[in-house]
Structure 1
């Protein structure tokens, strides 16, 4: 439900939400999406005896289906997408900036996904806002205000998530990161007091929840199939490879 808030609510309420709550909340029901642990690379010692090949990672089971035509209809904000528009595979991710599992995916899976599938033209990747708290809303608003630096801003916020999402003085922590994208104190304050932008971010979340039953982050829609949790690159490959 979109809350009716005053113009300065996001900016002034950032410090009011306990950081410990934010870092454990990747669903509105309090249940966390399951993150996939990163695994170390296998040894390549040429002198070692050959080991049996590891079985291929199985594709995770989909938790449902959505109508891709409906999913890809324009929403309250312009889409933020990477990759060819006519790629055979379209991935839509709903994420929250304060979700540790979303940060885990962004750091451990997304770089290889981008290199292997997005940059090669096989996948179109769409990123959508699904904030669970004021700090996540603020992060998305700053990314939107960063213009062409939207994805770099998202990347920095995920990489530095512990720095700002857990900060006692979250406004100062977020401002220090925002300066890297060219924000001044004036433009930072103006962005976080933009009520219209706040309502648009919330509308993206509401549509995801109401129309596509998103209730945890990250949630992925891959050619109409729903997958929940921070998928590994092996799991992503197992889903994508049969489609390209």
Structure 2
């Protein structure tokens, strides 16, 4: 099945009914925090990302491995990932990612970001079939993929999270990072990222 990549035009007024519905419904099990690093780390960095964002893919490919090794695994920071889908396809992919156990989440989003050309941007691609092939490696069946995409509660909750990001952190593009109380948009090299972590920690 091919999904539209039509941009999600989500003004606060348009999202309000979805947010209310998400609050009334029981929170989907897959919407718990997805993160890497100890909760006791001195700095928590939030990354708002879209799985169809090429700049997010660049950060994950070029910067994240060094961030993970030198900052996260060293106990200097905790990374928290939050969905900010830019289009319908990114929303569907985020729903599938959220259907995975937390310990498989990072690897799956990494695989999706690394293979955008195949599942997101290839002309005439069966988007869901391509996502399902990657999800199968993480242990999800095609039926589970289809069920995740059809989960209206999960969809609404992700959209509610996007609205909250716009309201609380003024997120307008991806990737956007929140270093403590400082919001910084755009992909960046490791040195700049590490500098911002240091400033957030007061070092």
TM-score (norm 1): 0.69
Deviations 1:97-142 (A, max 9, x none): 1000000000100010010010111101111000011110111111
Q: Secondary structure at the match of 1:15?
A: coil
For residues 100 and 78 of structure 2, the distance between their equivalents in structure 1, rounded to whole angstroms, comes to 22
TM-score (norm 2): 0.82
* Structure 1 gaps, min length 5: 1-11, 29-74
Q: Which runs of 4+ in 1 moved over 3 A?
A: none
For residues 196 and 187 of structure 1, the distance between their equivalents in structure 2, rounded to whole angstroms, comes to 15
Q: Which has the higher contact order (CA 8 A, sep 6+)?
A: 1
State the shift of 1:211 in Å.
Answer: 2.2
> Is 1:173 matched up with 2:130?
yes
| Superposition RMSD in Å | 2.2
State the shift of 1:17 in Å.
Answer: 3.1
For residues 170 and 119 of structure 2, the distance between their equivalents in structure 1, rounded to whole angstroms, comes to 29
Q: How many aligned residue pairs are there? A: 181
For residues 17 and 178 of structure 1, the distance between their equivalents in structure 2, rounded to whole angstroms, comes to 20
* Structure 2 gaps, min length 5: 11-26
For residues 74 and 168 of structure 2, the distance between their equivalents in structure 1, rounded to whole angstroms, comes to 31
| Greater share of helix | 2
State the shift of 1:96 in Å.
Answer: 0.6
For residues 210 and 225 of structure 1, the distance between their equivalents in structure 2, rounded to whole angstroms, comes to 14
For residues 153 and 227 of structure 1, the distance between their equivalents in structure 2, rounded to whole angstroms, comes to 25
